[in-house]
């Protein structure tokens, strides 16, 4: 694990539920792509739970 990094993002859904998602990868990973991927997952989670509560 010493050659790995963890990138996390927190999110909060409309009903107040909070969580954290993350990616574990090599220290030399493309951080811009990882941050974009986490942002997309956060948006998908938000959209999914909005649809379920509509």
Which of the four pLDDT bands, split at 50, 70 and 90, describes residue 15? Answer: confident
Non-local (6+) Cβ contacts of 38 within 8 A are 7, 8, 9, 21, 22, 23
- CB of 7 closer than 8 Å to CB of 35: yes
pLDDT tens per residue, range 35-52 = 999 999 988 988 887 766
- CB of 24 closer than 8 Å to CB of 4: yes
* CA 10 to centroid of chain Cα atoms: 7
pTM reported for the whole predicted model: 0.74
């Amino acid at each position: 694990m010493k050659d790995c990094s963890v990138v996390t993002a927190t999110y909060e859904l409309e009903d107040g539920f909070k969580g954290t998602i993350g990616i574990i990868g090599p220290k030399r990973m493309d951080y811009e792509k990882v941050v974009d991927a986490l942002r997309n997952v956060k948006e998908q989670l938000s959209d999914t739970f909005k649809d379920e509560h509509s």
